[in-house]
């Protein structure tokens, strides 16, 4: 892990190959208070035309923040926006990727994607960061 | 199940502020739940809550809006941190929400709800708004007839 100031435009973050488990979804439901059955009950999810339960978008977004912190080191976060393009299923392989888009006026803009094993990213995001003010 | 209703005259109307405390237990549980490696990593987070923790405080039951419990799809989420810092364990914050806009797209409605989280007592020189959240949901249920 290099400090944020070592990253320059075009640099690619080391990817995370991972998956999100049903247990992690259940734990997130408890921690966040979002117990929507579409994330927890396959039968309800199917009633909405899905193949089964889907991961909370906000859980994926939370992992994206963790991915950025783990790879880019401590930083101050100013902007974090994501678009949820398609559902993320538990126990399906995922790859988290990121790239430094620009560095201007002491602000690092980072593009992030979360994609299934095949097909376009399910979640895309942008973060604006600066080096931490406090050591 | 509540139907989808909204009142154009109440767009922008602020909810009464809700006062909430950032507790150590809630932050710890949330941090573990969003830790992608399945454990709290080597980085020392101190008293900072994770970046997406503010979602626990946000409300979609803002003035002029009734959303169905089911058939909602979260399509976009934006979090701004004007003070350049995260929420911190132990602080008390005020949460205010409002309906920003509703757009129709065929049978779907695109609803944008804003939430602002303010420091109960801002440190000198710090922005009063700690987090501004913009949540976009797609409502698949039809709008209830007036």
pLDDT at B36: 77
pLDDT at B73 over 80: yes
Residue A110 near residue A101 (C-beta atoms within 8 A): yes
CA angle B69, A87, A57 (to 5 degrees): 65
C-alpha to C-alpha distance for A115 and A67, rounded to whole angstroms: 14
DSSP letter at B54? G
Nearest residue of chain A to residue B130 (CA atoms):
A78
The string of pLDDT tens digits covering residues B17-45 is 999 999 999 999 999 999 876 445 545 56
Distances (CA, A) of A88 to A1, A116, B19: 27, 8, 33
Q: Which residues contact B93 (CB under 8 A, 6 or more apart)?
A: B19, B20, B21, B22, B57, B87, B117, B118, B119, B120, B130
pLDDT at B144: 67
pLDDT at B142: 64
Tell me the whole-structure pTM to 2 decimals. Answer: 0.93
CA angle A24, A29, A35 (to 5 degrees): 140
Of all residues in chain B, what percent carry a pLDDT higher than 70? 84
Quote ipTM for the complex: 0.94
pLDDT at B5 over 70: yes
The pair of three-digit structure tokens given for residue A9, joined into one six-digit string? 């435009």
A99: left (phi over 0), alpha (psi -120 to 50) or beta: beta
pLDDT at B106: 87
Residue A116 near residue A54 (C-beta atoms within 8 A): no
pLDDT at A80: 98
The helix/strand/coil state of A63 is helix
The string of pLDDT tens digits covering residues B75-122 is 999 999 999 999 999 999 999 999 999 999 888 999 999 999 999 875
Q: Comparing C-alpha atoms, which of B74, B2, B57 is closest to residue A122? A: B74
Residue A124 near residue A112 (C-beta atoms within 8 A): yes
Closest Cα in chain B, distance from residue A46 (Å): 12
Task: Say whether residue B71 is in contact with chain A using an 8 A CB cutoff.
Answer: yes
Closest Cα in chain B, distance from residue A10 (Å): 24
Task: Say whether residue B106 is in contact with chain A using an 8 A CB cutoff.
Answer: no
pLDDT at B42: 47
No. of helices (H) and no. of strands (E), chain A: 3, 5
C-alpha to C-alpha distance for A72 and B82, rounded to whole angstroms: 21
Residue A51 near residue A92 (C-beta atoms within 8 A): no
C-alpha to C-alpha distance for B145 and B138, rounded to whole angstroms: 18
Closest Cα in chain B, distance from residue A77 (Å): 6
Phi, psi of A15 (to 5 degrees): -70, 155
Residues B51-72, mean pLDDT to the nearest whole number:
92
Q: Comparing C-alpha atoms, which of A126, A124, A129 is closest to residue A108? A: A129
Residues in A touching B28 (Cβ below 8 Å): none
Closest Cα in chain B, distance from residue A5 (Å): 17
Task: Say whether residue A130 is in contact with chain B using an 8 A CB cutoff.
Answer: yes
CB–CB contact B37 A66 (8 Å)? yes
Residues in B touching A65 (Cβ below 8 Å): 34, 50-52
């Amino acid at each position: 892990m290099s400090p944020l100031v070592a990253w320059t435009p075009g640099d690619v973050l080391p990817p995370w190959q991972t998956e999100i488990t049903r247990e992690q979804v259940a734990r997130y439901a408890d921690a966040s208070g979002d117990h929507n059955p579409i994330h927890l009950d396959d039968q309800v999810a199917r009633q909405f035309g899905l193949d089964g339960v889907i991961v909370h978008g906000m859980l994926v977004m939370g992992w994206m923040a963790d991915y950025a912190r783990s790879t880019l080191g401590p930083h101050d976060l100013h902007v974090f926006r994501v678009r949820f393009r398609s559902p993320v299923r538990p126990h399906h392989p995922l790859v988290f990727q990121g790239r430094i888009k620009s560095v201007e006026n002491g602000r690092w803009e980072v593009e992030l994607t979360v994609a299934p094993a095949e097909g376009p990213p399910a979640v895309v995001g942008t973060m604006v960061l600066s080096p931490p003010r406090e050591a | 199940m509540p139907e989808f209703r909204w009142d154009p005259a109440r767009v922008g109307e602020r909810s009464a502020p809700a006062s909430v405390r950032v507790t150590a237990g809630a932050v710890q549980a949330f941090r573990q739940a969003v830790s992608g490696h399945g454990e709290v990593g080597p980085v020392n987070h101190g008293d900072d809550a994770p970046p997406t923790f503010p979602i626990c405080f946000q409300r979609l039951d803002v003035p002029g809006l009734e959303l169905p419990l089911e058939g909602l799809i979260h399509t976009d989420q934006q979090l701004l941190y004007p003070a350049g810092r995260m929420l911190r364990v132990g602080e008390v914050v005020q949460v205010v929400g409002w309906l920003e806009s509703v757009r129709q797209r065929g049978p779907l409605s695109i609803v944008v709800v804003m939430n602002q989280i303010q420091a109960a007592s801002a440190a000198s020189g710090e922005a009063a708004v700690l987090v501004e959240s913009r949540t976009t949901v797609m409502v698949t249920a039809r709008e209830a007839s007036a």
